[in-house]
Chains A and B, each alone.
Chain A
Amino acid sequence: MTGLFYFTMLIALLAALQVVRGLNAVHALLHLIVTLLALSLLFFLLGAPFAAALQVIVYAGAIMVLMVFVIMMLNQGDAAVEQERAWLDVASWRVPGLLCGLLLLELGYLLLAPADGGRVRAVDAAAVGRTLFGPYLLLVELASMLLLAALVGAWHLVRPLKNRREGTSDD
Protein backbone atom coordinates (compact mmCIF):
# COMPACT_ATOMS: atom_id res chain seq x y z
CA MET A 1 0.00 0.00 0.00
CA THR A 2 2.79 2.41 0.93
CA GLY A 3 4.60 1.62 -2.31
CA LEU A 4 1.42 2.36 -4.25
CA PHE A 5 1.04 5.64 -2.41
CA TYR A 6 4.53 6.87 -3.27
CA PHE A 7 4.18 5.69 -6.85
CA THR A 8 0.94 7.66 -7.25
CA MET A 9 2.57 10.65 -5.61
CA LEU A 10 5.39 10.46 -8.13
CA ILE A 11 2.90 10.43 -11.01
CA ALA A 12 1.08 13.42 -9.54
CA LEU A 13 4.31 15.37 -9.15
CA LEU A 14 5.64 14.57 -12.62
CA ALA A 15 2.32 15.44 -14.23
CA ALA A 16 2.16 18.69 -12.26
CA LEU A 17 5.64 19.56 -13.45
CA GLN A 18 4.52 18.92 -17.01
CA VAL A 19 1.58 21.28 -16.50
CA VAL A 20 4.00 24.10 -15.75
CA ARG A 21 6.59 23.12 -18.33
CA GLY A 22 4.13 22.33 -21.13
CA LEU A 23 4.09 24.63 -24.15
CA ASN A 24 0.82 23.44 -25.65
CA ALA A 25 -2.14 24.58 -23.55
CA VAL A 26 -4.29 21.51 -24.21
CA HIS A 27 -1.45 19.13 -23.41
CA ALA A 28 -0.80 21.04 -20.19
CA LEU A 29 -4.48 20.67 -19.29
CA LEU A 30 -4.29 16.93 -19.95
CA HIS A 31 -1.41 16.70 -17.53
CA LEU A 32 -3.43 18.67 -15.01
CA ILE A 33 -6.21 16.10 -15.36
CA VAL A 34 -3.68 13.33 -14.72
CA THR A 35 -2.56 15.20 -11.61
CA LEU A 36 -6.14 15.45 -10.38
CA LEU A 37 -6.76 11.75 -10.99
CA ALA A 38 -3.58 10.87 -9.13
CA LEU A 39 -4.66 13.10 -6.23
CA SER A 40 -8.00 11.30 -6.21
CA LEU A 41 -6.20 7.97 -5.92
CA LEU A 42 -4.16 9.43 -3.04
CA PHE A 43 -7.39 10.37 -1.26
CA PHE A 44 -8.63 6.83 -1.81
CA LEU A 45 -5.46 5.30 -0.40
CA LEU A 46 -5.68 7.61 2.62
CA GLY A 47 -9.14 6.20 3.46
CA ALA A 48 -11.41 8.89 2.02
CA PRO A 49 -13.23 7.17 -0.87
CA PHE A 50 -16.01 9.77 -0.92
CA ALA A 51 -13.58 12.64 -1.33
CA ALA A 52 -11.80 10.63 -4.03
CA ALA A 53 -15.01 10.14 -5.99
CA LEU A 54 -15.94 13.81 -5.67
CA GLN A 55 -12.45 14.83 -6.79
CA VAL A 56 -12.97 12.92 -10.04
CA ILE A 57 -16.61 13.90 -10.60
CA VAL A 58 -16.27 17.58 -9.80
CA TYR A 59 -12.71 18.54 -10.75
CA ALA A 60 -11.59 16.06 -13.39
CA GLY A 61 -15.06 15.40 -14.78
CA ALA A 62 -16.74 18.81 -14.80
CA ILE A 63 -14.47 21.78 -14.18
CA MET A 64 -11.59 20.52 -16.32
CA VAL A 65 -14.01 19.60 -19.11
CA LEU A 66 -15.12 23.23 -19.20
CA MET A 67 -11.50 24.43 -19.28
CA VAL A 68 -10.60 22.07 -22.11
CA PHE A 69 -13.81 23.18 -23.82
CA VAL A 70 -12.84 26.86 -23.72
CA ILE A 71 -9.20 26.36 -24.71
CA MET A 72 -10.31 24.11 -27.52
CA MET A 73 -12.55 26.88 -28.84
CA LEU A 74 -9.64 29.34 -28.83
CA ASN A 75 -7.85 26.92 -31.17
CA GLN A 76 -4.32 28.10 -30.45
CA GLY A 77 -1.94 26.73 -33.00
CA ASP A 78 1.82 26.58 -33.31
CA ALA A 79 2.14 30.34 -32.89
CA ALA A 80 0.99 30.08 -29.28
CA VAL A 81 3.48 27.28 -28.66
CA GLU A 82 6.32 29.44 -30.00
CA GLN A 83 5.26 32.31 -27.77
CA GLU A 84 5.18 30.03 -24.75
CA ARG A 85 8.66 28.81 -25.60
CA ALA A 86 9.90 32.36 -25.67
CA TRP A 87 8.31 33.17 -22.33
CA LEU A 88 9.53 30.08 -20.48
CA ASP A 89 13.23 30.98 -20.26
CA VAL A 90 15.51 30.18 -17.35
CA ALA A 91 15.03 33.54 -15.67
CA SER A 92 11.31 32.99 -15.21
CA TRP A 93 11.99 29.82 -13.21
CA ARG A 94 13.97 31.54 -10.43
CA VAL A 95 11.22 32.90 -8.17
CA PRO A 96 8.82 29.90 -8.51
CA GLY A 97 11.79 27.59 -7.93
CA LEU A 98 12.69 29.48 -4.76
CA LEU A 99 9.11 29.31 -3.46
CA CYS A 100 8.89 25.59 -4.20
CA GLY A 101 12.20 25.07 -2.39
CA LEU A 102 10.79 26.84 0.67
CA LEU A 103 7.71 24.60 0.58
CA LEU A 104 9.96 21.56 0.33
CA LEU A 105 11.93 22.69 3.38
CA GLU A 106 8.70 23.17 5.29
CA LEU A 107 7.51 19.71 4.27
CA GLY A 108 10.81 18.16 5.33
CA TYR A 109 10.55 19.89 8.72
CA LEU A 110 7.01 18.61 9.20
CA LEU A 111 8.00 15.07 8.26
CA LEU A 112 10.98 15.04 10.60
CA ALA A 113 9.17 16.72 13.50
CA PRO A 114 7.53 14.37 16.05
CA ALA A 115 4.15 13.32 14.67
CA ASP A 116 1.02 13.71 16.76
CA GLY A 117 -0.45 10.26 16.05
CA GLY A 118 -0.90 10.22 12.27
CA ARG A 119 -3.45 7.41 12.19
CA VAL A 120 -5.45 6.84 9.01
CA ARG A 121 -9.19 6.91 9.62
CA ALA A 122 -11.71 6.05 6.90
CA VAL A 123 -14.25 8.81 6.17
CA ASP A 124 -17.33 7.61 4.32
CA ALA A 125 -20.13 9.52 2.61
CA ALA A 126 -22.39 9.53 5.68
CA ALA A 127 -19.64 11.06 7.84
CA VAL A 128 -19.05 13.82 5.27
CA GLY A 129 -22.79 14.51 5.12
CA ARG A 130 -23.13 14.68 8.90
CA THR A 131 -20.28 17.17 9.11
CA LEU A 132 -21.60 19.34 6.27
CA PHE A 133 -25.12 19.50 7.68
CA GLY A 134 -24.04 19.63 11.32
CA PRO A 135 -21.28 21.98 12.42
CA TYR A 136 -20.76 23.48 8.96
CA LEU A 137 -24.41 24.05 8.03
CA LEU A 138 -24.09 27.82 7.96
CA LEU A 139 -21.08 27.70 5.64
CA VAL A 140 -22.85 25.32 3.26
CA GLU A 141 -25.85 27.64 3.10
CA LEU A 142 -23.60 30.64 2.51
CA ALA A 143 -21.78 28.82 -0.29
CA SER A 144 -25.09 27.90 -1.91
CA MET A 145 -26.15 31.57 -1.78
CA LEU A 146 -22.88 32.53 -3.42
CA LEU A 147 -23.55 30.05 -6.20
CA LEU A 148 -27.08 31.39 -6.59
CA ALA A 149 -25.67 34.90 -6.97
CA ALA A 150 -23.29 33.63 -9.65
CA LEU A 151 -26.19 31.94 -11.42
CA VAL A 152 -28.29 35.11 -11.40
CA GLY A 153 -25.29 37.06 -12.66
CA ALA A 154 -24.72 34.62 -15.51
CA TRP A 155 -28.37 34.81 -16.46
CA HIS A 156 -28.20 38.60 -16.42
CA LEU A 157 -25.24 38.59 -18.80
CA VAL A 158 -26.81 36.27 -21.36
CA ARG A 159 -30.42 37.50 -21.24
CA PRO A 160 -32.03 38.41 -24.56
CA LEU A 161 -30.91 41.88 -25.61
CA LYS A 162 -34.33 43.11 -26.73
CA ASN A 163 -34.20 46.55 -25.09
CA ARG A 164 -30.60 47.20 -25.93
CA ARG A 165 -31.06 46.42 -29.61
CA GLU A 166 -33.90 48.93 -30.00
CA GLY A 167 -31.51 51.74 -29.08
CA THR A 168 -29.05 51.00 -31.89
CA SER A 169 -29.82 50.95 -35.58
CA ASP A 170 -30.23 47.35 -36.62
CA ASP A 171 -28.73 46.62 -40.02
Chain B
Amino acid sequence: MAEFMAIAIRAVAVLLLLVVSAALLTWAERRLLGLWQDRYGPNRVGPFGLLQVVADMLKLLGKQEFVPPFADKPVFILAPAIAMATMLMAFVVIPFAPGFPLADLNIGLLFFLAMSSLAVYAVLLGGYASNNKYALLGALRSAAQALSYEVFMGLSLLGVVMQAGSFSLGQIVEAQRDLWFCIPQFLGMVLFFIAGIAESHRLPFDLPEAEHELTAGFHTEYSGMKFGMFFVGEYLGVILISALMTTLFFGGWLGPVLPPWLWFLLKTTLFVLLFVLLRASLPRPRYDQLMAFGWKCLLPLALLNLTVTGLVLL
Protein backbone atom coordinates (compact mmCIF):
# COMPACT_ATOMS: atom_id res chain seq x y z
CA MET B 1 0.00 0.00 0.00
CA ALA B 2 2.86 2.36 0.91
CA GLU B 3 4.43 1.58 -2.45
CA PHE B 4 1.20 2.42 -4.21
CA MET B 5 0.93 5.69 -2.28
CA ALA B 6 4.49 6.63 -3.26
CA ILE B 7 3.69 6.08 -6.94
CA ALA B 8 0.44 8.03 -6.62
CA ILE B 9 2.21 10.99 -4.98
CA ARG B 10 4.86 10.97 -7.71
CA ALA B 11 2.21 10.87 -10.41
CA VAL B 12 0.26 13.78 -8.93
CA ALA B 13 3.46 15.80 -8.47
CA VAL B 14 4.49 15.27 -12.10
CA LEU B 15 0.96 16.06 -13.26
CA LEU B 16 0.83 19.35 -11.37
CA LEU B 17 4.32 20.31 -12.47
CA LEU B 18 3.47 19.66 -16.10
CA VAL B 19 0.22 21.60 -16.13
CA VAL B 20 1.81 24.53 -14.31
CA SER B 21 4.79 24.62 -16.66
CA ALA B 22 2.47 24.39 -19.67
CA ALA B 23 0.58 27.39 -18.32
CA LEU B 24 3.79 29.29 -17.64
CA LEU B 25 4.89 28.48 -21.16
CA THR B 26 2.07 30.64 -22.55
CA TRP B 27 3.61 33.59 -20.73
CA ALA B 28 7.19 32.67 -21.66
CA GLU B 29 6.22 32.31 -25.30
CA ARG B 30 4.56 35.70 -25.49
CA ARG B 31 7.48 37.41 -23.74
CA LEU B 32 10.02 35.71 -26.03
CA LEU B 33 8.01 36.48 -29.14
CA GLY B 34 7.96 40.08 -27.94
CA LEU B 35 11.73 40.03 -27.47
CA TRP B 36 12.37 38.62 -30.93
CA GLN B 37 9.88 40.90 -32.61
CA ASP B 38 11.24 44.00 -30.88
CA ARG B 39 8.29 44.71 -28.58
CA TYR B 40 7.47 44.05 -24.93
CA GLY B 41 4.81 41.35 -24.68
CA PRO B 42 2.74 41.05 -21.48
CA ASN B 43 4.68 42.91 -18.77
CA ARG B 44 2.05 44.63 -16.62
CA VAL B 45 0.55 41.98 -14.33
CA GLY B 46 2.99 41.09 -11.55
CA PRO B 47 6.80 40.96 -11.81
CA PHE B 48 7.82 40.68 -15.50
CA GLY B 49 4.15 40.09 -16.27
CA LEU B 50 4.38 36.64 -14.66
CA LEU B 51 0.89 36.86 -13.17
CA GLN B 52 -0.52 37.23 -16.68
CA VAL B 53 -0.94 33.43 -16.55
CA VAL B 54 -3.20 33.75 -13.51
CA ALA B 55 -5.15 36.57 -15.11
CA ASP B 56 -5.67 34.54 -18.28
CA MET B 57 -6.78 31.53 -16.29
CA LEU B 58 -9.27 33.56 -14.26
CA LYS B 59 -10.64 34.96 -17.50
CA LEU B 60 -11.04 31.50 -19.03
CA LEU B 61 -12.63 30.09 -15.87
CA GLY B 62 -14.94 33.08 -15.56
CA LYS B 63 -16.34 32.66 -19.06
CA GLN B 64 -19.67 30.99 -19.59
CA GLU B 65 -19.32 27.29 -20.39
CA PHE B 66 -21.11 27.48 -23.68
CA VAL B 67 -22.00 24.50 -25.85
CA PRO B 68 -23.49 25.53 -29.19
CA PRO B 69 -27.06 24.22 -29.59
CA PHE B 70 -26.19 22.64 -32.96
CA ALA B 71 -23.18 20.77 -31.53
CA ASP B 72 -22.96 17.06 -30.76
CA LYS B 73 -22.85 17.67 -27.02
CA PRO B 74 -21.14 14.59 -25.48
CA VAL B 75 -18.47 14.49 -28.19
CA PHE B 76 -18.02 18.26 -27.97
CA ILE B 77 -17.16 17.95 -24.28
CA LEU B 78 -15.08 14.81 -24.74
CA ALA B 79 -12.71 16.26 -27.36
CA PRO B 80 -10.73 18.75 -25.21
CA ALA B 81 -10.45 16.12 -22.48
CA ILE B 82 -8.83 13.75 -24.99
CA ALA B 83 -6.42 16.50 -26.06
CA MET B 84 -5.12 16.97 -22.54
CA ALA B 85 -5.35 13.38 -21.31
CA THR B 86 -3.37 11.79 -24.18
CA MET B 87 -0.57 14.32 -23.84
CA LEU B 88 -0.36 13.87 -20.06
CA MET B 89 -0.46 10.08 -20.45
CA ALA B 90 2.53 10.16 -22.77
CA PHE B 91 4.66 11.70 -20.00
CA VAL B 92 4.29 8.48 -18.01
CA VAL B 93 7.21 6.89 -19.84
CA ILE B 94 9.59 9.89 -19.90
CA PRO B 95 12.63 9.31 -17.63
CA PHE B 96 13.12 12.64 -15.84
CA ALA B 97 16.07 11.27 -13.85
CA PRO B 98 17.67 7.82 -13.35
CA GLY B 99 14.90 5.48 -12.16
CA PHE B 100 12.26 8.21 -12.30
CA PRO B 101 9.93 7.56 -15.13
CA LEU B 102 6.48 7.03 -13.65
CA ALA B 103 6.40 3.65 -15.39
CA ASP B 104 9.46 2.10 -16.99
CA LEU B 105 7.58 0.19 -19.68
CA ASN B 106 9.71 -1.96 -21.95
CA ILE B 107 7.60 -0.59 -24.82
CA GLY B 108 8.05 3.04 -23.69
CA LEU B 109 8.61 4.51 -27.12
CA LEU B 110 5.68 2.61 -28.61
CA PHE B 111 3.52 3.89 -25.78
CA PHE B 112 4.41 7.44 -26.75
CA LEU B 113 3.58 6.72 -30.40
CA ALA B 114 0.27 5.18 -29.35
CA MET B 115 -0.66 8.23 -27.28
CA SER B 116 0.32 10.64 -30.03
CA SER B 117 -1.78 8.71 -32.52
CA LEU B 118 -4.75 8.85 -30.14
CA ALA B 119 -4.27 12.60 -29.77
CA VAL B 120 -5.54 12.98 -33.34
CA TYR B 121 -9.03 12.19 -32.07
CA ALA B 122 -9.11 15.36 -29.98
CA VAL B 123 -8.89 17.57 -33.04
CA LEU B 124 -10.94 15.30 -35.27
CA LEU B 125 -13.83 14.96 -32.83
CA GLY B 126 -13.63 18.60 -31.79
CA GLY B 127 -14.06 19.59 -35.42
CA TYR B 128 -16.84 17.10 -36.06
CA ALA B 129 -18.83 17.89 -32.92
CA SER B 130 -18.71 21.64 -33.52
CA ASN B 131 -20.91 21.15 -36.60
CA ASN B 132 -19.28 24.12 -38.23
CA LYS B 133 -17.68 24.31 -41.68
CA TYR B 134 -14.44 25.93 -40.57
CA ALA B 135 -14.07 23.50 -37.71
CA LEU B 136 -14.72 20.54 -40.00
CA LEU B 137 -12.18 21.74 -42.56
CA GLY B 138 -9.61 22.30 -39.83
CA ALA B 139 -10.24 18.84 -38.42
CA LEU B 140 -9.93 17.20 -41.85
CA ARG B 141 -6.64 18.92 -42.49
CA SER B 142 -5.40 18.03 -39.08
CA ALA B 143 -6.26 14.36 -39.43
CA ALA B 144 -4.55 14.12 -42.82
CA GLN B 145 -1.51 15.99 -41.54
CA ALA B 146 -1.21 13.96 -38.36
CA LEU B 147 -1.59 10.62 -40.16
CA SER B 148 1.07 11.50 -42.74
CA TYR B 149 3.57 12.87 -40.27
CA GLU B 150 3.03 10.00 -37.86
CA VAL B 151 4.30 7.59 -40.51
CA PHE B 152 7.78 8.97 -40.63
CA MET B 153 7.82 10.01 -37.00
CA GLY B 154 7.75 6.29 -36.24
CA LEU B 155 10.31 5.57 -38.97
CA SER B 156 12.69 8.28 -37.79
CA LEU B 157 12.71 6.82 -34.28
CA LEU B 158 13.55 3.30 -35.43
CA GLY B 159 17.21 4.23 -35.98
CA VAL B 160 17.51 5.10 -32.28
CA VAL B 161 15.74 1.91 -31.29
CA MET B 162 18.11 -0.14 -33.46
CA GLN B 163 21.20 1.47 -31.96
CA ALA B 164 19.98 1.24 -28.37
CA GLY B 165 18.46 -2.22 -28.86
CA SER B 166 15.41 -1.35 -26.77
CA PHE B 167 12.09 0.46 -26.80
CA SER B 168 12.55 1.43 -23.15
CA LEU B 169 13.40 5.13 -22.84
CA GLY B 170 15.53 4.51 -19.73
CA GLN B 171 17.71 2.06 -21.65
CA ILE B 172 17.91 4.40 -24.63
CA VAL B 173 19.38 7.07 -22.32
CA GLU B 174 21.82 4.55 -20.84
CA ALA B 175 22.96 3.59 -24.34
CA GLN B 176 24.07 7.19 -24.92
CA ARG B 177 26.75 7.22 -22.20
CA ASP B 178 29.57 7.30 -24.76
CA LEU B 179 27.99 9.24 -27.58
CA TRP B 180 24.69 11.09 -27.81
CA PHE B 181 22.49 9.80 -30.60
CA CYS B 182 22.24 13.27 -32.14
CA ILE B 183 25.53 12.53 -33.94
CA PRO B 184 25.04 9.04 -35.45
CA GLN B 185 21.29 9.69 -35.86
CA PHE B 186 21.51 13.29 -37.05
CA LEU B 187 19.06 12.74 -39.90
CA GLY B 188 16.68 10.89 -37.60
CA MET B 189 16.83 13.78 -35.14
CA VAL B 190 15.97 16.40 -37.76
CA LEU B 191 13.12 14.27 -39.11
CA PHE B 192 11.73 13.62 -35.64
CA PHE B 193 11.82 17.29 -34.77
CA ILE B 194 9.93 18.26 -37.93
CA ALA B 195 7.38 15.51 -37.32
CA GLY B 196 7.12 16.63 -33.71
CA ILE B 197 6.27 20.18 -34.73
CA ALA B 198 3.61 18.85 -37.09
CA GLU B 199 2.21 16.57 -34.37
CA SER B 200 1.85 19.39 -31.88
CA HIS B 201 0.26 21.67 -34.52
CA ARG B 202 2.79 24.42 -33.97
CA LEU B 203 3.82 27.04 -36.44
CA PRO B 204 4.90 26.64 -39.21
CA PHE B 205 2.72 23.50 -39.32
CA ASP B 206 -0.39 24.94 -37.65
CA LEU B 207 -2.55 24.69 -40.76
CA PRO B 208 -5.41 22.97 -38.89
CA GLU B 209 -6.01 26.31 -37.18
CA ALA B 210 -4.62 28.70 -39.77
CA GLU B 211 -6.46 31.83 -38.68
CA HIS B 212 -6.16 33.68 -41.97
CA GLU B 213 -8.30 31.13 -43.82
CA LEU B 214 -10.11 28.98 -41.23
CA THR B 215 -10.91 31.51 -38.46
CA ALA B 216 -9.60 29.22 -35.71
CA GLY B 217 -9.89 25.78 -37.31
CA PHE B 218 -11.12 22.95 -35.15
CA HIS B 219 -11.61 25.05 -32.01
CA THR B 220 -13.69 27.79 -33.65
CA GLU B 221 -16.73 26.96 -31.49
CA TYR B 222 -14.78 26.44 -28.27
CA SER B 223 -14.52 28.98 -25.49
CA GLY B 224 -13.85 29.14 -21.77
CA MET B 225 -12.03 26.27 -20.09
CA LYS B 226 -12.77 23.85 -22.93
CA PHE B 227 -10.71 26.06 -25.21
CA GLY B 228 -8.19 26.36 -22.38
CA MET B 229 -7.78 22.57 -22.34
CA PHE B 230 -7.02 22.47 -26.07
CA PHE B 231 -4.56 25.28 -25.49
CA VAL B 232 -2.81 23.60 -22.55
CA GLY B 233 -2.82 20.34 -24.52
CA GLU B 234 -0.91 22.06 -27.30
CA TYR B 235 1.71 23.40 -24.91
CA LEU B 236 1.97 20.00 -23.23
CA GLY B 237 2.66 18.63 -26.70
CA VAL B 238 5.50 21.10 -27.11
CA ILE B 239 7.00 20.08 -23.78
CA LEU B 240 6.52 16.40 -24.64
CA ILE B 241 8.32 16.63 -27.97
CA SER B 242 11.12 18.64 -26.34
CA ALA B 243 11.47 16.07 -23.56
CA LEU B 244 11.61 13.28 -26.15
CA MET B 245 14.23 15.13 -28.21
CA THR B 246 16.30 15.35 -25.02
CA THR B 247 15.75 11.72 -24.10
CA LEU B 248 16.24 10.16 -27.51
CA PHE B 249 18.97 12.26 -29.09
CA PHE B 250 20.67 14.41 -26.45
CA GLY B 251 21.49 11.97 -23.67
CA GLY B 252 18.45 12.60 -21.46
CA TRP B 253 19.61 13.19 -17.89
CA LEU B 254 23.26 12.38 -18.69
CA GLY B 255 25.74 15.19 -18.06
CA PRO B 256 28.64 16.17 -15.82
CA VAL B 257 28.63 18.01 -12.44
CA LEU B 258 24.98 19.06 -12.25
CA PRO B 259 22.32 16.66 -10.88
CA PRO B 260 20.59 14.55 -13.55
CA TRP B 261 17.13 16.11 -13.22
CA LEU B 262 18.62 19.58 -13.75
CA TRP B 263 20.36 18.43 -16.93
CA PHE B 264 17.09 17.03 -18.18
CA LEU B 265 15.28 20.26 -17.34
CA LEU B 266 17.91 22.45 -19.01
CA LYS B 267 18.00 20.45 -22.23
CA THR B 268 14.22 20.27 -22.44
CA THR B 269 13.91 24.02 -21.86
CA LEU B 270 16.34 24.62 -24.68
CA PHE B 271 14.13 22.74 -27.13
CA VAL B 272 11.01 24.49 -25.90
CA LEU B 273 12.73 27.79 -26.64
CA LEU B 274 13.63 26.47 -30.09
CA PHE B 275 9.92 25.81 -30.70
CA VAL B 276 9.14 29.44 -29.85
CA LEU B 277 11.97 30.73 -32.01
CA LEU B 278 10.64 28.71 -34.95
CA ARG B 279 7.24 30.28 -34.46
CA ALA B 280 8.79 33.72 -34.41
CA SER B 281 10.84 33.26 -37.55
CA LEU B 282 9.21 30.90 -40.06
CA PRO B 283 6.34 31.62 -42.47
CA ARG B 284 3.45 29.19 -42.83
CA PRO B 285 3.54 26.95 -45.93
CA ARG B 286 0.50 26.17 -48.08
CA TYR B 287 -1.36 22.99 -47.16
CA ASP B 288 -0.44 21.08 -50.33
CA GLN B 289 3.20 22.11 -49.87
CA LEU B 290 3.08 20.67 -46.36
CA MET B 291 1.72 17.32 -47.55
CA ALA B 292 4.07 17.11 -50.53
CA PHE B 293 7.04 17.94 -48.29
CA GLY B 294 6.03 15.18 -45.91
CA TRP B 295 5.48 12.39 -48.40
CA LYS B 296 7.99 13.23 -51.13
CA CYS B 297 10.88 14.56 -49.09
CA LEU B 298 10.74 13.44 -45.48
CA LEU B 299 9.46 9.89 -45.98
CA PRO B 300 12.25 8.85 -48.39
CA LEU B 301 14.81 10.46 -46.08
CA ALA B 302 13.45 8.52 -43.10
CA LEU B 303 13.65 5.27 -45.08
CA LEU B 304 17.20 6.12 -46.18
CA ASN B 305 18.18 6.78 -42.57
CA LEU B 306 16.72 3.45 -41.55
CA THR B 307 18.54 1.56 -44.32
CA VAL B 308 21.91 3.16 -43.60
CA THR B 309 21.57 2.56 -39.86
CA GLY B 310 20.70 -1.06 -40.56
CA LEU B 311 23.71 -1.48 -42.87
CA VAL B 312 26.10 0.11 -40.36
CA LEU B 313 24.80 -2.02 -37.52
CA LEU B 314 25.13 -5.21 -39.56
Contacts and interface: CB of A to CB of B under 8 A. Distances in A.
User: Are A and B associated in one complex?
Assistant: yes
Interface of A: 24, 26-27, 30, 33, 49-50, 52-54, 56-57, 60-62, 65-66, 68-69, 72-73, 75, 124-125
B110 A26 contact: no
A50 B113 CA distance: 12
Interface stretch (B19-27, B44-52, B115-123, B178-186): B115-123
Contacts of A61: 113-114, 117-118, 120, 150
15 contacts: A26-B72, A27-B74, A27-B75, A30-B125, A49-B106, A49-B107, A53-B110, A56-B117, A57-B113, A62-B150, A65-B117, A68-B143, A69-B140, A72-B124, A125-B106
A65 B147 contact: yes
A89 B50 CA distance: 60
Given A50-B110, A124-B106, A65 B121 contact: yes
B128 interface: yes
Contacts of A124: 106
Contacts of B74: 27
B139 interface: yes
Interface residues of B, number: 29
Contact of A57 (B75, B105, B117, B144): B117
B215 to A, nearest CB: 19
**What are the 10 A-B residue pairs with the smallest beta carbon separation, nearest first?**
A61-B117, A53-B110, A56-B114, A72-B128, A49-B107, A53-B107, A57-B114, A69-B143, A65-B120, A57-B117
B140 A72 contact: yes
Interface string B44-72: 00000000000000000000000000001
B167 interface: yes
Contacts of B227: none
B306 interface: no
A48 to B, nearest CB: 10
Contacts of A33: 121
Contacts of A54: 110
A60 B128 contact: no
A30 B72 CA distance: 13
Interface string B94-118: 0000000000011100110110011
B104 to A, nearest CB: 12
